[in-house]
């Protein structure tokens, strides 16, 4: 049975990520009452190198899950929008609830599950702490496009949306408000959200009003922003040799601005993948871009480089490490068309390049000044 199995007032069985109730509630848009159930002769495995599982037929196995009743046409439509976007369709199957057999709708991938390269056995308890909050944030963004874009078009940006969800989770933490206005409930009101462009990155446009300093609300205005995700930069520094490793690569931003020299001298940089911490991302990028295994990472700053037009947020680090003459070279992930050259330069030359303007990207300039301020302390230590 295919999509015709999606009906109102019928049990639905979830055993993968949607077994996480906050995620299912984000998809349906309301609180959910669920009861335990299980599916015989099936098991869940991680899809290799991905953040979600796949349901596999396996004699003798047992997939634990929950039963939920779709109470409205909207429930059915929202489930179909979310699951259908990823190529899943509903199939009527017999599941077990206590000792009774219940016919329920189970979502299966339209492509054969055996085509997925599987990893180890998947468990909700293992997935939740690493990905649960990120998936919930992603689902809220995903369902904001319900009725606006086709589900496959939304799901095509799943990895980017999940990375953005992870950014939302990090952004939700406590932030100091000693001087600036402390935002409260109702201080920002969004009347409309549009997404005129969405591929690897996205552009969003909002009709918004905000609390003015006299206590009134501003007139409704339209604002647009570049939607990236959180990223890291890390500058490796050898305090014994008093030198750093910087990387040299082509950057589209300077080229599109009209800069005749679009290759940039930078600190190692890259986005934070779903399920990663900023420190983990910095260490991974150091291996990919410079072949360096880093241990001691010192935080420089966490900041919005261009808050007037971009949601991107950066975590910058200095890494204390050994930088022998062999540390320079050409690196990069081939599958991402990266072509990155590493340069070993003295601290004095680093500061000279900042002064001349040859280093002209904000994270590297900021990190260089931090290193200048802390260099004597680091060398003595």
Single pTM value for the model: 0.87
Helix H segments across 291-346? none
Specify whether the CB–CB gap between 86 and 158 falls below 8 A.
yes
What three-state secondary structure class fits 71?
Answer: coil
- Mean pLDDT (whole number) for 359-376: 97
How many C-beta atoms lie closer than 10 Å to residue 299's C-beta?
12
CA-nearest of 200, 188, 124 to 164 is 200
Tokens of 60: 């003798």
pLDDT class of 30 with cuts at 50, 70, 90: very high
- Residue with tokens 């050259």, as numbered in its chain: 341
> Cα–Cα distance between 319 and 264 in angstroms, integer?
20
d(CA 91, CA 293): 47
pLDDT in tens, 163-202: 999 999 999 987 899 999 999 999 999 999 888 888 888 8
Q: What is the pLDDT of residues 123-176, one digit of tens each?
A: 999 999 999 999 999 999 999 999 988 999 999 999 999 999 999 999 998 789
* Predicted pLDDT of residue 331: 79
The token pair that represents 293 in the structure block: 């295994």
Tokens 């639905």 belong to 12
Residue numbers annotated as active site: 336
Please give the C-alpha separations between residue 344 and each of 45, 55, 154, 303, 324, in angstroms, as whole numbers: 44, 49, 43, 27, 9
Quick check: helix, strand or coil at residue 294? coil
Exposure b/e, 230-245, CB count within 10 A at least 16 = b: bbbbbbbbbbeeebbb
């Amino acid at each position: 049975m295919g999509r015709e199995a999606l009906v109102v007032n019928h049990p639905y069985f979830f055993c993968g990520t949607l077994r996480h109730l906050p995620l299912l509630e984000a998809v349906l848009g309301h609180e959910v009452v669920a009861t335990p159930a299980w599916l015989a002769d099936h098991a869940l495995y991680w899809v290799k190198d991905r953040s979600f599982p796949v349901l596999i037929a396996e004699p003798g196995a047992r997939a634990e899950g929950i039963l939920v009743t779709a109470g409205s046409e909207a429930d059915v439509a929202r489930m179909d929008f979310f699951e259908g976007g990823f190529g899943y369709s509903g199939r009527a199957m017999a599941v077990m609830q206590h000792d009774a057999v219940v016919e329920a709708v189970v979502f299966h991938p339209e492509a054969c599950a055996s085509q997925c390269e599987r990893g180890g056995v998947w468990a909700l308890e293992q997935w939740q702490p690493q990905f649960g909050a990120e998936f919930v944030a992603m689902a809220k963004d995903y369902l904001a496009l319900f009725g606006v874009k086709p589900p496959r078009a939304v799901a095509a940006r799943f990895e980017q949306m999940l990375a953005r969800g992870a950014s939302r989770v990090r952004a939700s933490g406590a932030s100091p408000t000693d001087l600036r206005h402390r935002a409260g409930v109702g201080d920002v009101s969004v009347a409309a959200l549009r997404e005129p462009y969405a591929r690897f990155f996205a552009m969003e446009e909002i009709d918004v009003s905000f609390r003015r300093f006299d206590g009134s609300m501003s007139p409704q205005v339209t604002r647009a922003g570049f939607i990236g995700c959180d990223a890291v930069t890390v500058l490796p520094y050898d305090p014994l040799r008093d030198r750093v490793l910087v990387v040299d690569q082509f950057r589209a931003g300077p080229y599109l601005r009209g800069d005749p020299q679009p290759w940039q001298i930078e600190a190692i940089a890259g986005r934070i993948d779903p399920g990663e911490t900023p420190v983990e991302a910095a260490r991974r990028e150091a291996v990919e871009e410079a072949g360096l295994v880093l241990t001691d990472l010192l935080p420089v700053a966490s900041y919005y480089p261009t808050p007037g037009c971009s949601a991107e947020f950066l975590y910058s680090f200095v890494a204390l490490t050994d930088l022998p003459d062999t540390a320079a070279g050409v690196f990069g992930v081939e599958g991402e068309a990266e072509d990155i050259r590493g340069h070993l330069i003295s601290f004095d030359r680093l500061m000279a390049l900042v002064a001349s303007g040859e280093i002209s990207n904000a994270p590297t300039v900021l990190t260089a000044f931090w290193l200048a301020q802390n260099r004597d302390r680091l060398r003595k230590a």
